[in-house]
């Protein structure tokens, strides 16, 4: 009987640990409204970029994201993104996204017709240096045991 109780306690502790790591879902409406519209990634920068290749969102080399187009719709947190750079994989997809009160940008890349709640995997980036015409999304990657920032620079189109 003690073994069963011990296992139940362990399961409860595991769930408690998992729930504390969930990202805040309280949205930063002001930041989201500022992102409304059409954007292009004008640069992707990180230390050692001449030596290290980064596979962004498990889709393509980070260099392929330069020139990619993004549309953010702030009233329903949907949009789309497209990779169109020459000599890179061509890719287009609907997305869902939001900015939480912690300054985190949460992104899900969807397959056509797929509901966001069915998608279990997503990406958490940090929103930085936001203005009406530009902002940065910053991802953290592990390079040889050292956490490194990958900075995606967005510029407003129009």
- Compute how many other C-beta atoms are within 10 angstroms of the C-beta atom of residue 110: 16
* pLDDT greater than 90 at residue 78: yes
Mean pLDDT, to the nearest integer, of 62-74? Answer: 95
Is the pLDDT reported for residue 5 higher than 60?
Answer: no
Question: In whole numbers, what is the pLDDT of the chain averaged over residues?
Answer: 80
Q: Hey, CA dihedral for 44, 46, 52, 58, is it positive or negative?
A: negative
End-to-end, the C-alpha distance of the chain in Å comes to 68
Decide which of 158 and 67 is more confident: 67
**Residue with structure tokens 């640069």?**
43
> Partners of 93 in the beta sheet?
81
**pLDDT at site 119:** 55
Positive or negative, the CA dihedral 63, 130, 120, 80 is: negative
With a cut of 60, say whether residue 23 has pLDDT above it.
no
Distance CA 94, CA 113 (A): 9
Q: How far apart are CA 38 and CA 53, in angstroms?
A: 27
């Amino acid at each position: 009987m003690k073994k069963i109780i011990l296992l139940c306690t362990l399961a409860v502790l595991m769930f408690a640990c998992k729930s504390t790591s969930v990202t805040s879902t309280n949205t930063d409406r002001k930041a989201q409204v500022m992102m409304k519209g059409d954007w292009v990634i004008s640069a992707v920068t990180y230390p050692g970029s001449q030596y290290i290749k980064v596979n962004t969102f498990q889709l393509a080399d980070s260099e392929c994201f330069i020139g990619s187009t993004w549309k953010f719709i702030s009233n329903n947190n949907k949009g789309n993104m497209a990779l169109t750079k020459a000599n890179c994989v061509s890719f287009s997809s609907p997305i869902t996204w939001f900015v939480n009160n912690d300054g985190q940008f949460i992104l899900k890349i969807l397959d056509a017709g797929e509901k966001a709640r069915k998608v279990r995997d997503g990406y958490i980036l940090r929103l930085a240096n936001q203005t009406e015409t530009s902002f940065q999304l910053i991802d953290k990657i592990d390079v040889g045991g050292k956490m490194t920032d990958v900075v995606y620079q967005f510029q407003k189109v129009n």
